Amino acid sequence: MFVSDKLIYLHLQKTGGTHVTKLLSRYLPAERGKQVMHGSLPAGYVKNSKYVVGSIRNPWDWYVSLWAYGCEGRGAFIKKLTEKKYGRYINRLGSNPVVALQGIWNEYHKPRRQWTALFRDGKDTGLFREWLRLLLSSERKYDIGPEYAGSKLSSYAGAMTYCYIGIYTGGRAGGTVARISSAEELAAYDREHNILDDIIRTESLHDDLLRVIGVAGYVLDAEQIEGIRNAGKTKTSTRHSVGKYYDNETLDLVMEKERFLIEKYDYRPPALAGSG
């Protein structure tokens, strides 16, 4: 999260947020102590008249980026899948014992070696497809997290929607969200509770960033504008084009699990390319 006197930026992982936060910190006056990774608005924090901005990415690209980053041994998501995380379920024994006990059993039987092997090579398209099918299967939902696993959301939505709802509505997959049983109902919930005033698309990141800075009420000089337009990526990973990682089955799987985001932001699947 980045907060200035006029703007709040909330970072959804793997949507260019580190790069956006770096540029905002360079060109805008930040409130002290408000730069936090992948955060929603803190409890009790009032946005007041600040312009609240988030970021989004084509879901097919998002999954490739999430996996490729893990293949480099980076990011929290690879640890979530390859390490035993009993604590996140033990802490819920009092509030939700059914989910907690199932989660503890799941952590004991988690296929850690399989997960680790699937992060072996960021250019192996076969590994990516196997990883994606495993990640979005009902059998492995507890590996993503207790709120996701214990909600109806896990039956029709994937990890990206889960993260998006948690940051941009403050809902995670618990409470009311846990009882929402379809993408249509989730869209209605999002329309009512989404806190964003604007969105930065990864595909047009610099142009969108300049636009939201202006709408928020800041005026940049020509040198600052040029600095943002010519800024390189903060984090990069070596990989093929997105379409090379998918086949028809995995393309449809993302379409099914991320339909809410795909329809909301009018994303299109990548053109398939030969694997290698």
- Domain with 71, as residue range(s), is 60-194+239-264
* Token pair of 39 as six digits: 């955060």
Q: Does 64 map to a domain?
A: yes
Q: How many domains does the chain have?
A: 2
Q: Judge if 83 and 169 occupy the same domain.
A: yes
Q: Residue 176: its pLDDT value, please?
A: 83
Instruction: Tell me the three state secondary structure of residue 117.
Output: helix
Q: Are residues 113 and 187 in the same domain?
A: yes
Residues 128 and 170 in one domain: yes
Based on the fold, state whether residues 43 and 10 are members of the same structural domain: yes
- Give the pLDDT score at 59: 98
Q: Please classify residue 57 by burial: count the beta carbons closer than 10 Å to its beta carbon, then call 0-12 exposed, 13-18 middle and 19+ buried.
A: buried
The answer to whether residue 109 sits within a structural domain is: yes
Residues 246 and 121 reside in one and the same domain: yes
- Could you tell me which of 212, 206, 205 has the C-alpha nearest to residue 228? 206
User: Does one domain contain both 67 and 109?
Assistant: yes
The answer to whether residues 141 and 39 belong to one domain is no
Cα separation, 165 vs 161, in Å, equals 6
Residue 71 lies in a domain: yes
User: Do 130 and 79 fall into the same domain?
Assistant: yes
Is there a domain that residue 272 lies in?
Answer: no
Q: Is 17 among the domain residues? A: yes
Identify whether 181 is part of a domain: yes
Q: What angle do CA 89, 169, 137 make, to 5 degrees?
A: 50
> Do 178 and 133 fall into the same domain?
yes
Please check whether residue 18 lies inside any domain of the structure.
yes
Q: Which long-range contacts (CB under 8 A, 24 or more apart) does 81-87 make?
A: 81/110, 81/112, 81/115, 81/135, 81/143, 82/112, 82/115, 82/116, 82/119, 83/112, 84/108, 84/110, 84/112
Residues 177 and 207 in one domain: no
Q: To 10 degrees, what angle do helices 248-257 and 125-135 make?
A: 30
pLDDT along the chain (276 residues), means of 10: 91 94 91 59 72 97 96 91 92 90 94 96 96 96 91 94 91 80 93 95 97 97 96 65 96 97 96 74
164-to-55, 66, 168 alpha-carbon distances in Å: 9, 14, 6
Instruction: Give a yes or no: residue 274 inside a domain.
Output: no
Residue 38: its pLDDT value, please? Answer: 55
For 116, the token pair is: 């680790």
Shared domain for 168 and 187, answered yes or no, is: yes
Q: Are strands 7-9 and 2-3 parallel, antiparallel or unpaired?
A: antiparallel
Mark whether 124 and 49 lie in a shared domain.
no
